[in-house]
């Protein structure tokens, strides 16, 4: 694996909590690794789990998903359904041989800019250590 | 064929300081369908917006990408700009190269630039799939709900009502007035709290446009901006307020005394009561958990203790037969166009602080308790005495920041009003009894505000309060005295003061139940359980849920003048909303392709807003249809639709996949 | 080996229903062209009912044909597994209960079938099956049987696969998916695959690249597995019909195992119970989000 | 066969200056069917010189004893508040990887993290075991003094409230005595400074004792040899402004339990104290 391997991370963030949390990290000027590219969605419930599979098929090294904490969903119940879908998709991709470390779902609120940056830093480090998903 | 224009914003040095704009511009030029790229110092400025407008016209752009700050910041600004050029405002996409890039990757300009390019690339790929979207017009209920009858809620309700709109004011307690009603005087003018508050309370009661619901609580909220459907619980008072004249003979005659919540247990009230003499409504409620007759009814042979007396004295003495033992809790359903949340605060529970006695010392009291002791309508009719032995204190020690600025008890914030009310208390104590010597232990003496610093000086110079900078390590009892041990940080030595009374400047905690309410309204709250504004500076009374507004301490600690201003500000927003005749709905809703729909109605099962209904096609297939006014655009149905028949305007599968693919290929 | 009594009952019932006009058609089994293994039969006339048979080669899940409403009202011969499929279709509002007459058959096991040879070893899924009486039927044939069978444990081959390292899993699956020719026989035979337009056939959004190569094939099979999770009743038809012998049921069985463990849900036991992905419990964590 | 078996770590003080604590502890435990097995080869916990000189040393010394305790495979009971504090600090240290490595290196051993250390007070507070009181301490007013080390810091000892602990109070009430509600339960007595700053120790200790006295306490119950020596041995040097002596007996809580179990003053070595408790106990008919 190349020494300075830069993992390619795709992030899906719900607009109301997590995307705002990421904005908060920005307004607070908290730095974190630049590898993640964020896709804005209205709710974690909008994220078709197949997007995750698609990201890996297209060559992403890691997929990150964040939504409102349970009970705080802007759309009341979105993240509860999402939680079930993501759990199943996690099982499936792991079964297909994609290390489960490459796929992370976290609850990040609008006020948790610091938490967001910490999660991303840790996730990026982990992926860097894992190396490219498609070897060779 | 889409003709995309890309505008990269420097945001002064905010973006340009980290991201190499020219590199981004060059890269953008090479992207598919991009026909024009330009960078501006401040794209959001009038100049910047004019450039966008001009360029769209000159280059017949039909799609626009703006690389700038978070879309949560300026998406609407730029949509307007795009629209002003005659382009559909939804043919715009924003690449967040500030909050998600320059501000968080300032440590590596190269990588930040590379990321900025990617973000623009994704936006370009996505915008190519954008379609024109057209908002719809819906009617609205010209009527507001204000939750919380403290000074903020009262102000908001009055202003909305004066503007000619109907208002429901819902208060959990039996009276409105909130915390301000418990104060004796207010800083820095020292005018009597009741004298300035009660007239406003009366106005509320008498205002033709205001329906006052005290002893009531909001249970459920559904619907959306302009048309909320709210379920309100009117708790039973066991008193018919239409018959009751508030003559007071019942609460004079009621034999059952209980500690008064309003006086923080320093005095008693009856079980049929009004919390304080100027209460609005000036009509009593029966406290069912303590009423003798209720106990009498609930008493059973096997239950312990002897049978309580039947009592019913209130009923007997009532001249208008207003006591109604049969009265039940009542559910009220109403529609509102807008909601103001003004749930206020409670004082911090100081028993957490063992070193201050953990609530075991009767002569260690809170600021609000002192207010009650000093108030002419309080339990002691304004005589300041020690709760323990009723003697008059001569030496009073104030301790600041109890439940504020202390991470150990999970309160890192400043409660803002304590420094000022301590100053007020020292001055008032001096007026009550010139022999009283006050000591104030403070961390910082924060007196920002008109006339505040002067007021604080007055406390020290005229009322002779001694200010000592330092914390208290322990309070112990020495006979009747409270020995207060602390350090005088300025003199750099420990001090011990033998006090008669210790007053804790307890900070502000959000009211109980605010989290549950926030979840019912689905608005967000911070780690301290204060409600979150849509923008801390630019949208201080709005929430992320349109149609729901905030006022007062529920958002964060502030004093009375700020609360009044906040309440009025919220009212203006509400009035602005209610003065419209129709509302334009967000067109970013879900849409069904009936050809693909297989009629499994999984979408119907998951939709939290019941925005999906069934319809039968001409060929007799049952298919799902979206009610666009009910649909909030969460996209839950899209991800649950196996045949891919549902999609979400603005976040279609094409658009999101385009972002993924553009990034990876 | 054929149970004369069962066959007679099927034929009598079929004749009765067809003659009195209750139904237009009977979906059942008849002896196949190799003279030993059964194949699906569509019986329209009372006089044809004698073609109907039932034995342990009747592996096909006929419920897949119920999607064609032209046959309604229809009678169908179902094994316990196929009966669960009917519940799934009912739950997904794909068939109307009153238009389908269910002839349920108590079944111990079916054997592995391949054209021209008669096998005697039961299919793996039957070895761990503990449901021998159909959960839904209008007319029951056979039984009663001892249902106190041990609870079905996860299939051994799934647990084995789970045990492998990520690397080995990748090798295994890319090996399998490299064989896939995307003939979609698995989709055609599956009672759960009834979308008008399948994700894999959409060009825009392009969920799956049209190129027939391992990553694309894997994406297709991922979609298939995910779209069937919480709905697959394990009839194994997908694997049976795969011309290149990809063990597709290995994916479906895994998903059903997880659905069972996460949500305590078994597909097709009832048509009333809400689908696992269309319901939730507020306080479940599922190891997600923390 | 005893119902409860513990490893026992007396610590240096109980083998020298505070023998009576050791004696009463062993007697009481025996009477209550608690078997104490003194650890083979325990060493000094180092308090308070070790941890004030070197953090690692302050952790490594207790760790040595912990290692033996771990091998004993029994929960370890500690009477001395200081030893208890040091052992607990070491266990807290072991939870942190870096610190654990340092300690393991220093000892050239591998310490686990799940070593159970209990304060004697917790073991005897009447909740773990019931105390068959034969001679209730009726009419005895006790000021329960916990000192600063037993309960602080909460996250390390997790024993009781740090400002107003009540374990010992509950215990003496069980014994039939009355525990006074006072404010110096966890104030520092000056601990290790009687040599360096006797003046300070006398002030601090006097404050503590005078409030106990003023609230009518007949004696002070302690769970720490250091506190005991300060409050007992130094007491004769303390005088109120008007020259009054306090003459307030300082007893180990184990001695109170002993009395209530009907053990004799002699057995419990009550005479070893500088302030003789016997006259007071005789007035009360408790000795």
- The CA-atom distances, in angstroms, between B309 and each of A7, B292, B312, B321, C253 are 78, 7, 9, 21, 70
State the pLDDT at residue B178: 97
Sequence-separated contacts (24+) of B559-565 with Cβ below 8 Å: B559/B187, B559/B416, B559/B417, B559/B420, B559/B449, B560/B151, B560/B180, B560/B186, B561/B449, B563/B150, B563/B151, B563/B152, B563/B155, B564/B151, B564/B152, B564/B155
Name the residue ranges covered by the structural domains of chain D. 4-121, 134-283
The conformation of residue B98, written as its DSSP 8-state character, comes to: I
Are D79 and D11 in contact by the 8 Å Cβ rule? The answer is yes
CA distance B572 to B542: 11
Residues B258 and B376 in one domain: no
Please write the tens of the pLDDT for every residue from B197-215.
999 999 999 999 999 999 9
Q: How many residues belong to chain D? A: 287
Residues B374 and B414 in one domain: yes
State the pLDDT at residue B3: 96
pLDDT at B338 over 90: yes
Name B12's Cβ contacts closer than 8 Å, sequence gap at least 6: B41, B42
State the pLDDT at residue A1: 44
Task: Look at B585 and D117; give whichever has higher pLDDT.
Answer: D117
Q: How far is C204 from chain B (nearest CA, A)?
A: 6
Are B446 and B414 in contact by the 8 Å Cβ rule? The answer is yes
Q: What percent of chain B has pLDDT over 90?
A: 90
What would the two tokens of residue B118 be?
């990617």
The H-or-E segment that residue B213 falls in is strand B210-213
Are B375 and B184 in contact by the 8 Å Cβ rule? The answer is yes
Please write the tens of the pLDDT for every residue from B63-114.
999 999 999 999 999 999 999 999 999 999 999 999 999 999 999 999 999 9
CATH of the domain at B595: 3.30.70.3270
DSSP string computed for B124-147 = HHHHTT-------EEE---EEEEE
Name B326's Cβ contacts closer than 8 Å, sequence gap at least 6: none
State the pLDDT at residue B251: 95
* Cross-chain residue pair C204–B642, CB shorter than 8 Å: no
CA distance C153 to C150: 8
Are B656 and A43 in contact by the 8 Å Cβ rule? The answer is no
Strand, coil or helix: what is C53? Answer: strand
Partners of B354 on chain D (C-beta within 8 Å) are 161-164
Q: How many residues belong to chain B? A: 665
User: What is the torsion angle, in degrees rounded to the nearest 10, for the CA atoms of residue A114, residue A115, residue A120 and residue A126?
Assistant: 130
Q: How much helix, strand and coil, in percent to the nearest 5, is found in chain A?
A: 45, 15, 40
- Among B484, B509, B534, the domain-final residue is B509
Partners of B652 on chain C (C-beta within 8 Å) are 205
The H-or-E segment that residue B231 falls in is strand B227-234
By CB atoms closer than 10 A (0-12, 13-18, 19+), residue B445 is: middle
Strand, coil or helix: what is B59? Answer: coil
pLDDT at B408 over 70: yes
Name the residue ranges covered by the structural domains of chain C. 4-141, 156-275
Of B100, B656, B663, the CB nearest to A22: B100
Name B105's Cβ contacts closer than 8 Å, sequence gap at least 6: A31, A32, A34, B18, B111, B112, B115
- Among B534, B563, B581, the domain-final residue is B581
Model confidence at B584, in pLDDT bands (50, 70, 90)? confident
Chain B residue closest in CA terms to D164: B354
Model confidence at C151, in pLDDT bands (50, 70, 90)? low
A-C Cβ pairs (cutoff 8 Å, strict): 100
CA distance B648 to C2: 55
Residues B390 and B505 in one domain: yes
Are B386 and B266 in contact by the 8 Å Cβ rule? The answer is no
Please write the tens of the pLDDT for every residue from B615-655.
999 988 999 999 887 788 999 999 999 999 999 999 999 99
* Cross-chain residue pair A95–C172, CB shorter than 8 Å: no
CA distance D76 to D39: 9
Structural domains for chain A = 9-130 (3.40.50.960)
* The pairing of beta strand B590-592 with beta strand B143-147: unpaired
Q: Does C187 touch chain B (CB under 8 A)?
A: no
Partners of B638 on chain A (C-beta within 8 Å) are 46, 48
Residues B515 and B503 in one domain: no
**Residue in the block written with tokens 């003659």:** C19
What would the two tokens of residue B246 be?
């508030």
C-alpha D4: how far from chain center: 20
CA distance D113 to D247: 45
Partners of D240 on chain B (C-beta within 8 Å) are none
Number of H helices, E strands in chain C: 9, 5
CA distance B65 to C162: 45
Residues B551 and B616 in one domain: no
**Mean pLDDT across C60-74:** 90
**pLDDT tens for chain D, residues 1 to 287:** 447 899 999 999 999 989 999 999 999 999 999 999 999 999 999 987 888 889 999 999 999 999 999 998 899 999 999 999 999 999 999 988 889 999 999 999 888 878 899 999 999 987 878 899 999 999 999 999 999 889 989 888 888 899 999 999 999 999 999 999 999 999 999 877 888 888 889 999 999 999 999 999 999 999 999 999 999 998 998 887 777 889 999 999 999 999 999 999 999 999 999 999 999 999 999 88
Q: How far is A46 from chain C (nearest CA, A)?
A: 13
pLDDT at C149 over 70: no
* Cross-chain residue pair C207–B605, CB shorter than 8 Å: no
Residues B370 and B497 in one domain: yes
Q: Does A99 touch chain C (CB under 8 A)?
A: yes
Residues B399 and B461 in one domain: yes
* Cross-chain residue pair B72–A34, CB shorter than 8 Å: no
What would the two tokens of residue C91 be?
């739950």
- Measuring CA to CA, which residue among C133, C129, C157, C165 is closest to residue C146? C133
- Among B525, B559, B581, the domain-final residue is B581
ipTM of this complex prediction, to 2 decimal places? 0.66
Partners of A85 on chain B (C-beta within 8 Å) are 639
What would the two tokens of residue A25 be?
């990290």
Q: Helical H runs in chain A?
A: 18-27, 49-57, 78-95, 113-130
Chain B residue closest in CA terms to C227: B642
What would the two tokens of residue C283 be?
């306080």
Chains that touch D (3 or more CB pairs under 8 A): B
Q: How far is D234 from chain B (nearest CA, A)?
A: 23
Q: Which residues of chain A have pLDDT under 50?
A: 1-2
- Measuring CA to CA, which residue among B116, B10, B123 is closest to residue B65? B123
User: How are strands ordered across the β-sheet holding D76-78?
Assistant: D34-38, D4-8, D76-78, D117-119
Model confidence at C147, in pLDDT bands (50, 70, 90)? low
Q: How far is B41 from chain D (nearest CA, A)?
A: 50
Taking the CA atoms of D152, D157, D158 and D160 in sequence, report the sign of the dihedral they define. negative
* Cross-chain residue pair B527–A111, CB shorter than 8 Å: yes
Please write the tens of the pLDDT for every residue from B20-64.
999 999 999 999 999 999 999 999 999 999 999 999 999 999 999
State the pLDDT at residue C1: 56
Residues B366 and B491 in one domain: yes
Q: How far is B429 from chain A (nearest CA, A)?
A: 42
Q: What is the CA radius of gyration of chain C?
A: 20
Class of domain D134-283: alpha beta
Partners of D187 on chain B (C-beta within 8 Å) are 474
DSSP string computed for D107-123 = HTS---S---EEEHHHH
Domain membership of residue B165 as a residue range: 137-229+330-344+511-581
Per DSSP, what are the bridge partners of residue B186? B191
Residue B132 lies in a domain: no
Are B90 and B132 in contact by the 8 Å Cβ rule? The answer is yes
State the pLDDT at residue C72: 84
* Cross-chain residue pair A92–C225, CB shorter than 8 Å: yes
Name B573's Cβ contacts closer than 8 Å, sequence gap at least 6: B338, B541, B542, B549
Residues B474 and B600 in one domain: no
The CATH code for residues D4-121 is 1.20.1050.140
Q: Which residues of D183-214 are buried (b: 16+ CB within 10 A; e: fewer)?
A: bbbbbbbbbebbeeeeeebbebbbbbbbbbbe
Instruction: Give the largest Cα separation in chain C, rounded.
Output: 65
Partners of C208 on chain B (C-beta within 8 Å) are none
- Measuring CA to CA, which residue among B101, B510, B644, D277 is closest to residue C195? B644
Please write the tens of the pLDDT for every residue from C88-122.
999 999 999 999 999 999 998 999 988 888 888 89
- The CA-atom distances, in angstroms, between C188 and each of C89, C182, C184 are 16, 12, 6
Write out residues 352-371 of B within 8 Å (CB-CB) of D: 354-355, 357-358, 360
φ, ψ (nearest 5 deg) of residue B56: -55, -45
CA distance D123 to B440: 44
Beta strands in B405-450 (DSSP E): 437-442
B-D Cβ pairs (cutoff 8 Å, strict): 24
Residue B657 lies in a domain: no
* Cross-chain residue pair B644–C277, CB shorter than 8 Å: no
What would the two tokens of residue B373 be?
């002791």
Per DSSP, what are the bridge partners of residue B485? B474, B496
* Cross-chain residue pair B644–C275, CB shorter than 8 Å: no
* Cross-chain residue pair B360–D164, CB shorter than 8 Å: yes
Partners of A94 on chain C (C-beta within 8 Å) are 166
Residue B661 lies in a domain: no
Write out residues 473-532 of B within 8 Å (CB-CB) of D: 474-479
Partners of B71 on chain A (C-beta within 8 Å) are 40
């Amino acid at each position: 694996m190349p020494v300075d391997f830069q993992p390619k991370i795709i992030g899906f963030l719900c607009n109301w909590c997590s995307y705002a949390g990421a904005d908060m990290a920005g307004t607070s000027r908290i730095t974190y690794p630049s590898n993640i590219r964020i896709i804005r969605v209205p709710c974690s419930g909008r994220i078709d789990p197949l997007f995750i599979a698609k990201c890996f098929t297209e060559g992403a090294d890691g997929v990150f998903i964040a939504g409102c904490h349970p009970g705080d969903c802007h759309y009341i119940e979105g993240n509860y359904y999402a939680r079930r879908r993501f759990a199943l998709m996690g099982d499936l991709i792991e079964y297909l041989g994609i290390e489960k470390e490459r796929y992370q779902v976290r609850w990040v609120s609008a006020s948790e800019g610091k938490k967001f940056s910490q999660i991303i830093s840790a996730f990026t480090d982990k992926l860097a250590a894992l190396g490219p998903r498609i070897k060779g | 064929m889409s003709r995309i224009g890309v505008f990269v914003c420097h945001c002064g040095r905010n973006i340009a300081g980290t991201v190499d704009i020219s590199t981004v511009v060059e890269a953008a030029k090479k992207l598919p369908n991009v026909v024009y790229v330009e960078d501006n110092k401040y794209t959001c400025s009038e100049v910047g917006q004019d450039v966008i407008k001009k360029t769209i016209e000159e280059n017949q752009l039909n799609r626009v990408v703006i690389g700038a700050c978070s879309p949560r910041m300026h998406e609407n600004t730029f949509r307007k700009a795009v629209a002003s050029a005659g382009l559909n405002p939804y043919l715009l996409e924003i690449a967040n190269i500030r909050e998600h890039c320059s501000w968080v990757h300032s440590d590596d300009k190269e990588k930040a630039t590379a990321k900025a390019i990617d973000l623009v690339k994704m936006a370009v790929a996505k915008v190519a799939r954008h379609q024109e979207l057209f908002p719809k017009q819906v009617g609205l209920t010209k009527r507001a709900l204000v939750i919380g009858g403290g000074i903020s809620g009262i102000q908001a309700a009055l202003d909305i009502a004066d503007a000619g709109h109907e208002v429901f004011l819902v208060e959990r307690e039996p009276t409105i007035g909130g915390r301000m009603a418990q104060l004796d005087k207010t800083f820095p003018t020292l005018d009597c709290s009741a004298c300035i508050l009660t007239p406003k309370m009366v106005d509320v009661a008498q205002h033709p446009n205001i329906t006052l619901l005290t002893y009531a609580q909001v249970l459920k909220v559904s619907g959306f901006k302009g048309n909320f459907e709210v379920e309100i619980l009117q708790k039973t008072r066991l008193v018919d307020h239409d018959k009751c004249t508030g003559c007071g003979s019942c609460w004079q005659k009621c034999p059952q005394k209980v500690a008064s919540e309003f006086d923080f247990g320093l005095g008693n009230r009856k079980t049929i009561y009004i919390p304080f003499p100027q209460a609005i409504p000036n009509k009593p409620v029966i406290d069912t958990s303590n009423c003798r007759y209720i106990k009498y009814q609930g008493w059973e042979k096997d239950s312990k203790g002897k049978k309580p007396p039947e009592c019913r004295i209130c009923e007997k003495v009532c001249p208008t037969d207003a006591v109604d033992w049969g009265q039940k809790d009542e559910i009220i359903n109403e529609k509102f166009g807008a909601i103001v949340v003004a749930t206020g605060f409670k004082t911090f529970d100081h028993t957490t602080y063992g070193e201050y006695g953990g609530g075991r010392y009767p002569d260690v009291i809170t600021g609000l308790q002192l207010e009650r002791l000093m108030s002419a309508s309080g339990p002691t009719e304004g005589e300041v005495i020690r709760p323990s032995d009723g003697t008059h204190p001569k030496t009073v020690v104030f301790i600041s920041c109890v439940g504020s600025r202390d991470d150990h008890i999970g309160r890192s914030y400043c409660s803002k009003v304590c420094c000022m009310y301590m100053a007020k208390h020292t001055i008032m104590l001096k007026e009550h009894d010139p022999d009283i010597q006050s000591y104030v232990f403070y961390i910082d003496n924060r007196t920002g505000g008109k006339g505040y610093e002067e007021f604080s000086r007055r406390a020290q110079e005229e009322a002779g309060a001694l200010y000592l900078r330092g914390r208290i390590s322990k309070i112990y009892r020495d006979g009747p005295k409270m020995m207060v041990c602390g350090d005088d940080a300025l003199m750099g030595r420990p001090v011990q003061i033998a006090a008669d009374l210790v007053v804790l400047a307890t900070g502000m905690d959000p009211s109980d139940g605010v989290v549950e309410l926030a979840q019912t309204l689905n608005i967000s709250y911070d780690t301290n359980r204060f409600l979150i504004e849509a923008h801390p500076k630019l949208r201080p009374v709005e929430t992320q849920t349109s149609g729901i507004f905030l006022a007062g301490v529920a958002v964060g600690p502030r004093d009375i003048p700020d609360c009044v201003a906040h309440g009025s500000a919220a009212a203006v927003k509400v009035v602005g909303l209610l003065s419209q005749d129709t509302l334009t709905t967000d067109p970013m809703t879900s849409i069904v392709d009936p050809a693909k729909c297989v009629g499994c109605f999984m979408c119907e099962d998951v939709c939290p807003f019941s925005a999906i209904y069934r319809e039968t096609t001409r060929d007799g297939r049952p298919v799902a249809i979206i009610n666009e006014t009910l649909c909030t655009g969460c996209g839950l149905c899209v991800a649950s639709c196996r045949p891919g028949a549902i999609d979400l305007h603005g976040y279609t599968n094409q658009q999101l996949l385009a972002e993924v693919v553009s990034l990876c290929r | 080996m054929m149970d004369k009594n069962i066959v007679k009952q099927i034929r009598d019932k079929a004749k009765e229903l067809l003659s009195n006009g209750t139904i237009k058609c009977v979906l059942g089994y008849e002896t196949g062209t190799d003279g030993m293994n059964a194949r699906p039969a569509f019986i329209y006339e009372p006089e044809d009912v004698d073609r109907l048979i039932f034995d342990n080669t009747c592996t096909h899940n006929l419920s897949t044909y119920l999607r064609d409403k032209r046959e309604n009202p229809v009678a169908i011969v179902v094994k316990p597994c196929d009966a669960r499929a009917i519940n799934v279709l009912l739950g997904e509002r794909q068939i109307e209960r009153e238009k389908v007459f269910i002839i349920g058959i108590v079944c111990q096991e079916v054997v592995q079938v391949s054209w021209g040879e008669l096998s005697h070893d039961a299919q793996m899924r039957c070895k761990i099956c503990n449901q021998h009486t159909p959960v839904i039927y209008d007319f029951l044939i056979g039984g009663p049987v001892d249902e106190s069978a041990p609870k079905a444990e996860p299939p051994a081959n799934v647990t084995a696969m789970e045990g492998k390292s990520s690397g080995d899993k990748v090798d295994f699956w890319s090996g399998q998916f490299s064989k896939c020719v995307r003939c979609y026989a698995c989709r055609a035979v599956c009672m759960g695959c009834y979308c008008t337009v399948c994700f894999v056939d959409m060009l825009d959004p392009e969920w799956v690249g049209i190129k027939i190569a391992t990553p694309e094939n894997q994406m297709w099979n991922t979609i298939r597995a995910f779209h069937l999770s919480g709905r697959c009743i394990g009839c194994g038809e997908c694997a049976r019909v795969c011309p290149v012998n990809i063990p597709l049921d290995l994916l479906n069985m895994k998903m059903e195992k997880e659905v069972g463990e996460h949500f305590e849900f078994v597909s097709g036991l009832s048509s009333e119970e809400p689908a696992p992905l269309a319901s939730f419990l507020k306080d479940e964590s599922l190891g997600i989000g923390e | 066969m005893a119902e409860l078996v513990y490893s026992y770590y007396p610590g240096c003080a109980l083998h020298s200056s505070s023998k009576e604590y050791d004696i009463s502890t062993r007697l009481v435990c025996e009477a209550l069917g608690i078997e104490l097995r003194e650890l083979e080869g325990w060493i000094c916990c180092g308090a308070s010189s070790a941890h004030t000189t070197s953090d690692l040393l302050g952790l490594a010394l207790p760790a040595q004893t912990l290692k033996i305790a771990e091998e004993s495979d029994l929960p370890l009971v500690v009477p001395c508040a200081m030893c208890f504090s040091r052992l607990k600090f070491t266990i807290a240290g072991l939870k942190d990887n870096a610190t654990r490595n340092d300690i393991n290196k220093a000892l050239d051993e591998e310490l686990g993290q799940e070593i159970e250390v209990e304060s004697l007070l917790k073991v005897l507070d009447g909740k773990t075991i019931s105390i068959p009181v034969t001679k209730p301490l009726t009419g005895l007013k006790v000021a329960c003094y916990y000192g600063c080390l037993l309960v602080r810091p909460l996250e390390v000892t997790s024993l009781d409230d740090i400002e107003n602990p009540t374990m010992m109070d509950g215990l003496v009430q069980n014994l039939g005595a009355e525990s006074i509600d006072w404010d110096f339960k966890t104030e520092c007595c000056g601990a290790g400074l009687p040599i360096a700053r006797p003046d300070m120790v006398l002030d601090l200790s006097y404050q503590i004792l005078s409030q106990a006295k003023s609230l009518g306490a007949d004696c002070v119950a302690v769970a720490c040899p250091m506190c005991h020596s300060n409050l007992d041995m130094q007491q004769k040097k303390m005088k109120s402004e008007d020259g009054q002596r306090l003459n307030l007996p300082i007893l180990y809580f184990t001695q109170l339990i002993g009395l209530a179990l009907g053990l004799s003053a002699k057995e419990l070595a009550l005479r070893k104290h500088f302030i003789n408790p016997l006259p007071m106990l005789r007035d009360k008919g408790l000795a």
